Structure 1
Amino acid sequence: MVKMRALLSGYYGKGNGGDEALLATLLQMLPPDVTPVVLSGNPEETSWHYGVESYNRMAVLQVIKALRSCDAFIWGGGSLIQDVTSTISPFYYGGLMALAQVMGLKTVAWGQGIGPLLRPQTRWLAKRNFAGCIKVSVRDRNSSALLSDWGIPHILAPDPVWALASKPVAELADLPKPRIAVTLRNHPQLTETRLINLIDALVNLQTQTQAFILILPFQKSEDLGIAERIQLQLKDNSQIFCLEEPQLLKGAFRGVDMVIGMRLHSLIMAASEGCRCFALSYDPKINRLMEDLSIPGWDLANIPNDVDLVSKTWFDFYQKGNALSSEKIQSLVNGAFLHRELLQEALK
């Protein structure tokens, strides 16, 4: 019997830990009788990491070849359809989906976080794309409400990465405890003054707690420079871990007492491993997670200018804040597996 081939499209092969975690989860959830083919920014690396067939996502002839060789097309999770950080992104992904639908492939939108969509053209394209899918799953209430307004059937479930299997990081075993993890990224709203204040507050927090600081860049191109600046101020009390395997990146949060995170999937991974989370939001998707899980934090634009106030807020949360209960975590993990059931139904 010939196995079905499914082409997976997302922000893969770009060194972003959250998007790689979505790919790893999608591969984990695909039915065993489906052969994955991945569009990637670095197809050689993607093939090596995951043992899959992979093609250059920006090479038109390769993309056409991949589409022609496949029976199904899957938008593989994340904020692919939005026009705030990129005006090109919704047209790239929307164009691929439209092409797959014209070519007669089964099309699935999986684990999507839709929007913001500010332009009429992108809203029109997104509506047509989702309406043409045989199955749709989304990860947040706002996306679900938008699809409901458009009359498009879908399921709402927690972000798929809640269900990603994690692995322990052997190098962490001998590091001191307690531990606090930090995941900051480059962003226009993280101004030089704000960054300096956050690093100063982190130094204060480390002094107060005597915690060892794990600095986890989720995307080297955006995060490593900031990570190195943090470590420069905490030379003997911190370490940078650049972990490329998503299961290890998630496993790095095991035994961590608190996370200060900007990255959405750093907060999801940490919370799923029983860690207390404090968010620094630069995007509505993070605010949605904060609302859903009652995670404290600040929008970047509203971070207090008073370093002592920032460090005191963090220290109070470190002492008195709560992680998610084991029951709540299990409920979110179970819910995330609804994305797997959707794939099983769609790819019969």
Structure 2
Amino acid sequence: MAGTRNSQVFRIAVSGYYGFRNSGDEAVLRSILLALEKAAAEQGVQVQPVVLSADPEWTSRMYGVESAHRMRPGDLLRTLRSCDGLISGGGSLLQDVTSAKTIPYYVGVLKLAQWLGKPTFVYAQGIGPVNRRAMYPLIRSAMRRSRYVSVRDAESAALLARMGVSPDRIEVVPDPVMGLPLPPGTVPAARGGAAAETPPVLGVSLRRWREDGADMARAAEALVALSKRRPVRLRFLPFHTPSDGVTSELVMERLSGRLGEGSSAELAAPGDDPQAMLLEVSRCDALLGMRLHALIYAANQRVPLLGLSYDPKIDQFLNRLGLTPIGSTESLDPEAFADAACALLDAPEAWRDRYGPAIEELKQQASNPAQQIVRDLRHNRSR
């Protein structure tokens, strides 16, 4: 049992890629915190999160919660000892594409909590790619000992099953950000569309993936092709600072002097708050996204979207909506992109009518993990 004396108060550590000012991961954290707060209120208890962060002071200021440094063993151990359980997730934590150290770190946090006798909960994670099969036993062990395991797509569930985790223990749920609300007191601006006097806004979220920059060159050509078809306001949205801002500026340089008449390009600066970025996306008429959470933000706000794939997680999210990518980092046809983008900008309601039901279902399911975790904590405390 943890150090909280009040039977109606639960301290729970939250582990993820937090404190790095990545809008997508910060949106995951904000979504989890809000979902836990709502679930706790509905079940008549309180949850006190303690976030494991790369920048605890910033995280505490941003979210109004207690934080501890994720890379300081002493802080980590004290935090886990003081808590009633650990949430791992969401996001793409258990993958070895970005670094070989990622899986050992996140599995290590899970295993430490389990060694301390704390219940662990895996919250809407995207599992994989896992190219190093030596990681399979580590992941399998941590998952088998977790009280609750949820993943954000069927492909992640299938990968865990291949590792030896029983499919009966895995719940497929939406990414938590599908449930993220706009900032309190704000509403999305009226969207433009084909009949508006001003050009419609196409949100653009790009990240550099190929070392030679060929993917960004293809994206620039596609945007030029669109601008030749119709006036459009290209609003670049940096989801990871400063890298996405630098990438956006490089692409904008490629567009300089080449856009069609009446078209323009600009760089947004929504700041660090993920809900502020969600508001930015809500004010777009359509969105071209490479970043997964740019696409999730758009779906959350029912903004017609086109996905540019650089990782299986992009394809997997689009598949849940019944969509496929418009291209990838290896191939993007400018005219096909212009065709698709014009169709979205000219008839956004048709897109919403077609894909709205799938989006609504995901939004309704987004709080399922939080409800289950709070329920489990209450049941465990009452035994």
| 1:300 matched to 2:319 | no
The CA deviation at 1:28 is 0.5
Of 359, 364, 378, the match for 1:329: 359
Of 151, 176, 197, the match for 2:166: 151
Paired amino acid for 2:273? E
Quote the Cα distance in structure 2 between the aligned partners of 1:131 and 1:35: 26
Of 287, 290, 315, the match for 2:342: 315
TM-score, normalised via structure 2 length: 0.83
Of 63, 66, 85, the match for 1:53: 66
Deviates more, 1:93-102 or 1:295-304: 295-304
Q: Where do 5+ consecutive residues of structure 2 fail to align?
A: 193-197, 258-262, 379-383
The answer to whether the 8 A contact 1:83-1:122 is kept is no
The equivalent of 2:318 in structure 1 is 290
- Radius of gyration: which is bigger? 2
Deviates more, 1:293-302 or 1:21-30: 293-302
The equivalent of 1:88 in structure 2 is 101
The equivalent of 1:341 in structure 2 is 371
Quote the Cα distance in structure 1 between the aligned partners of 2:347 and 2:188: 29
Of 206, 212, 225, the match for 1:184: 206
SS in 1 for 2:330: helix
Of 152, 155, 164, the match for 1:142: 155
| 1:38 matched to 2:51 | yes
The CA deviation at 1:4 is 1.7
The CA deviation at 1:136 is 1.2
Deviations along 1:232-274, one digit per CA (max 9) or x if unpaired, are: 4369823322332111211222242211100111101101211
Distance 1:299 1:201, change over 3 A: closer
Of 223, 237, 262, the match for 1:216: 237
The CA deviation at 1:222 is 2.4
Quote the Cα distance in structure 2 between the aligned partners of 1:205 and 1:329: 26
**Equivalence map 1:12-161=2 (5 Å):** 12-30=18-36, 31-32=40-41, 33-149=46-162, 150-151=165-166, 153-161=169-177
The answer to whether the 8 A contact 1:181-1:213 is kept is yes
The answer to whether the 8 A contact 1:108-1:346 is kept is no
The answer to whether the 8 A contact 2:321-2:358 is kept is no
The CA deviation at 1:226 is 1.6
Deviations along 1:35-74, one digit per CA (max 9) or x if unpaired, are: 1001111111101100111111111221112112212111
| 1:241 matched to 2:268 | yes
The equivalent of 2:260 in structure 1 is none
Paired amino acid for 2:176? P
Distance 1:59 1:172, change over 3 A: farther
The answer to whether the 8 A contact 1:18-1:265 is kept is yes
Quote the Cα distance in structure 2 between the aligned partners of 1:170 and 1:294: 27
The equivalent of 1:200 in structure 2 is 221
Paired amino acid for 1:204? A
Deviations along 1:274-294, one digit per CA (max 9) or x if unpaired, are: 111111111111111122223
Paired amino acid for 2:78? K
Deviates more, 1:140-149 or 1:3-12: 140-149
Quote the Cα distance in structure 1 between the aligned partners of 2:321 and 2:361: 12
Deviations along 1:85-116, one digit per CA (max 9) or x if unpaired, are: 22110000001100000001111111111112
SS in 2 for 1:75: strand
Distance 1:302 1:225, change over 3 A: same
Paired amino acid for 1:108? F
Paired amino acid for 1:9? S
The CA deviation at 1:315 is 3.3
Distance 1:171 1:160, change over 3 A: closer
The CA deviation at 1:177 is 4.6
The equivalent of 1:281 in structure 2 is 309
The answer to whether the 8 A contact 1:169-1:248 is kept is no
The CA deviation at 1:197 is 3.1
Distance 1:174 1:147, change over 3 A: closer
RMSD (Å), alpha carbons? 2.5
The answer to whether the 8 A contact 1:112-1:139 is kept is yes
The answer to whether the 8 A contact 2:209-2:215 is kept is no
SS in 1 for 2:281: coil
The answer to whether the 8 A contact 1:216-1:241 is kept is yes
Of 152, 165, 181, the match for 1:165: 181
Paired amino acid for 2:242? S
Number of matched pairs: 345
Deviations along 1:198-235, one digit per CA (max 9) or x if unpaired, are: 21331332343312222110001321112123444369
Quote the Cα distance in structure 1 between the aligned partners of 2:68 and 2:199: 43
TM-score, normalised via structure 1 length: 0.91
Deviates more, 1:117-126 or 1:44-53: 117-126
Deviations along 1:168-211, one digit per CA (max 9) or x if unpaired, are: 8789789955111000012126x423322321331332343312
Identity of aligned residues (%): 33
